[in-house]
Amino acid sequence: MKNGILFISPSVEDAGILSRILGSVSIPLRRAEDLKQAVRKFLSEPIGAVLTEAHLADGDWIDVLKFVRKSGKPAAVVVTHRFADGKFWEDVLGQGAYDLLPQPFSCEEVQRILLNALAGPAAFKGPADAAFKKAAPAA
């Protein structure tokens, strides 16, 4: 079974949009309405990345990030928020999440961010990696 994306959100509408976008690139989407349901699904299903709303009925994105880390399963955590700004994006990355996916969802952004999250940070060799290597002191 192919690793999919676990979307944690009470929004059935957003889940439908994401399902169509990810279905076009053959990525399965599973949905949990809250953190409690997400924990069960994450532990029992093949999940390669988690996309979570910033605020949930029973927690928030930091709780999701902590759970995924403690689980020991390798999965990137991506946060989504309707009113995200530069400060929130900085906080999300600073806490160790993979990325921030702004809303409303753009097909190109959803596919780019979530396909990269599924591939894992080591698989992405983009300009930021090259700049980091130039700036890093030689060992």
pLDDT for position 83: 87
pTM to 2 decimals? 0.85
Q: What are the residues whose beta carbons fall under 8 Å from the beta carbon of 27, sequence distance 6 or more?
A: 2, 4, 5, 114, 115, 118
Percent of the chain residues topping a pLDDT of 90:
80
Task: Please report where in the chains the tokens 């030689």 appear, as a residue.
Answer: 138
Q: What DSSP character marks residue 99? A: E
Q: Give the tens place of pLDDT for each residue, 79-92.
A: 999 988 889 999 99
Rounded-to-integer distance, Cα 65 and Cα 90, Å: 15
In order of their start, the domains of the chain are 4-135 (3.40.50.2300)
Which one, of 67, 70, 31, 75, lies nearest residue 50 by Cα?
Answer: 75
Cis peptide before 121 (omega within 30 of 0): no
On average, the pLDDT of the chain sits at 87
Rounded-to-integer distance, Cα 38 and Cα 107, Å: 24
Cα separations in angstroms, 95 against 64, 88, 90? 12, 11, 9
Rounded-to-integer distance, Cα 60 and Cα 46, Å: 22
